[in-house]
Structure 1
Amino acid sequence: MKTALVLIDIQNDYFKDGKMELYNPEKAGDNAKLLLNAFRKNKMPVIHIQHLSTRPESAFFIPQTPGAEINERVSPLNNEKIIIKHYPNSFRETDLLDYLKNMGIEKLVICGMMTHMCVDATTRAAKDFGFECLVIGDACATKDLEINNETVKASEVQKSFLSALNYFYASVLTSEQFLKP
């Protein structure tokens, strides 16, 4: 089964001193780098997703600034596909689906930022499009969220979203489990 790595929104703004710092983004970024190195070593397809929006009216407006750049841990090589998206779902109004179909990809290894938003939306869409999905949980990061004046800690958000994905949409593994020979 032809497999590709999909690195979602591992961008500078999610790291220390960024506009939307997440909980433990360095750990997630370092684990994503381990996955990236393994895919490169095995000459397997890698797809970088970058969230940008030049639409100020969008709820997901992210201008093209140094913070929106892909983090150096996972900098794309010239031969790796970069897909610019404007919505949480990486398939929406992009060429991701056509690219994967043209490459004959059947299985996706997914990681990135933010677990509760773009990783979740993309994984669910990928499953709906018929892809087998693996989400590498420790190569994803999220943040504290609020509902009804109550804070839900990032660690609980992470577990909740990953467990929901694991229920039907994906198999959720750690980077160590995935990379184990």
Structure 2
Amino acid sequence: MATALFVIDIQNDLATDPGTRIPHAARIRAAGDKILSVARAVLDGRGASPPSPGLIVFVQHEEKPEDGTLVRGSEPWKLVFEPRRDAPEELLISKWTRDTFESNPDLASELKGLGVTDIIAFGIQSECCVESTCNGALAAGFGVTVLSGAHSTYDSGGKTAEEIEREVEERLRLKGTKVVPWEEAVAAWE
């Protein structure tokens, strides 16, 4: 049993630009920094064993110029956290739809070929690409965990980002996803 950690769309436009970032971008960046430092220490130190990740998948959303700001090569499109070039267990996956698996039809079989049975997800935006990618992973037969406190979005529809985060977690929980505070997950890896 191997686990893949999905780092979803933590890109400059959503996470660092003062004019466009989500309200809780600083929380997501801080959580991501700690999650990745522990996951990488585990990978580098002893090889991963459950429940720690054996693979880190960095997901990067792309848009056409007429559709948005996340245009390949642009500053808004760049990742806050990038895969290390010399680390074969760190992958970069581009996507054009909310669901990473829909954008990459061979991804599920490639991950299963590497022995991946479970996916742990965090990132931006909760009700868009995080939820859709978790649903895609569930549909592909993976066990899924979403890291509570390590995903967020914009305030929308009269709801705060935190309210949307909780609603997404509840919808995913009802479909069989585990919802774990990111601090607990990281503590279990160490």
Give the TM-score normalised by structure 2.
0.83
Return the alpha-carbon distance in structure 2 between the equivalents of residues 12 and 106 of structure 1.
30
**Quick one: structure 1 residues 63 and 39, their matched pair in 2 at CA, closer, same or farther if it must change by over 3 Å?**
same
> Is residue 104 from structure 1 mapped to residue 125 from structure 2 by the alignment?
no
Counterparts of 1:55 and 1:21 in 2: how far apart (Å)? Answer: 19
Match of 1:134 in 2: 145
Match of 2:58 in 1: 48
Tell me the percent identity.
24
Match of 1:159 among 154, 166, 169: 166
Q: Are 1:13 and 2:13 counterparts?
A: yes
Q: CA deviation at 1:38?
A: 2.0
What is the letter of the counterpart of residue 62 of structure 1? L
Distance 1:96 1:9 in 2: 17
1:89–1:122 contact (8 Å) kept in structure 2: yes
Gaps of 5+ in 2: 44-53
Give, in angstroms, the shift of residue 96 of structure 1.
Answer: 2.4
Structure 2 CA distance for aligned equivalents of residues 166 and 32 of structure 1 = 22
C-alpha change, 1:16 and 1:33, in structure 2 (3 Å) is closer
Q: Which amino acid aligns with 1:69?
A: K
1:61 Cα deviation from its structure 2 partner: 6.7
The number of residues matched between the two structures is 173
Structure 2 equivalent of residue 68 of structure 1: 77
Q: Answer yes or no: is the 8 Å Cα contact 1:52–1:62 preserved in 2.
A: yes
Tell me the equivalent position of 2:50. none
Q: TM-score, normalised by structure 1?
A: 0.87
Give distance in 2, aligned partners of 1:93 and 1:164.
22
CA RMSD of superposed structures (Å): 1.8
Deviation, structure 1 residue 103: 1.1
Deviations 1:56-87 (A, max 9, x none): 3x5x673121111001xx22111321001001
The one-character-per-residue Cα deviations of 1:122-180 (angstroms, maximum 9, x if unpaired) are 0011011110011002111111112xxxx212121111111211222411111111122
SS of 1:66's partner is coil
Unaligned runs of 5+ in 1: none
The structure 1 segments of at least 4 consecutive aligned residues displaced by more than 4 Å after TM superposition are none
